[in-house]
């Protein structure tokens, strides 16, 4: 019998990052300056649901966007075999 477990919905989390960034009036370049990345790819990957910020970066991002980490991360459930 399968068991349901929570997991991160990467696509919706990325959409949340994009929406919350815009609501905060911050650009991708603004975020890039804060995180000190060498290019904008990481931020775009977050927004496109291709990867997640590290836990440290997620905490910083939540603070910058004036939200909680839970407001950024979207959950979904999956059923295991």
Give the tens place of pLDDT for each residue, 12-69.
999 999 999 999 999 999 999 999 999 999 999 999 999 999 999 999 999 999 999 9
Taking residue 72's Cβ as centre, other Cβ atoms within 10 Å add up to 21
Sheet strands (E) in the chain: 4-8, 75-79
Residues in the chain: 81
| 16 or 1, greater pLDDT | 16
Q: Is the pTM of this model over 0.85?
A: yes
pLDDT higher than threshold 90 for residue 1: no
Mean pLDDT of 71-77: 96
Phi, psi torsion values for 49, nearest 5 degrees: 70, 25
End-to-end CA distance of the chain: 7
| Residue 35, Ramachandran bin (φ over 0: left; ψ between -120 and 50: alpha; else beta) | alpha
């Amino acid at each position: 019998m399968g068991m349901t477990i929570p997991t991160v919905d990467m696509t919706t989390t990325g959409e949340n990052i994009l929406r919350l960034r815009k609501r905060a009036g911050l650009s991708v370049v603004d975020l890039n300056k804060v995180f000190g990345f060498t290019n904008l790819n990481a931020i775009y990957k977050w927004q496109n649901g291709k990867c997640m910020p590290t836990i440290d970066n997620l905490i910083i991002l939540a603070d910058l966007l004036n939200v909680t980490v839970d407001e950024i991360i979207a959950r979904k459930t999956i059923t295991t075999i």
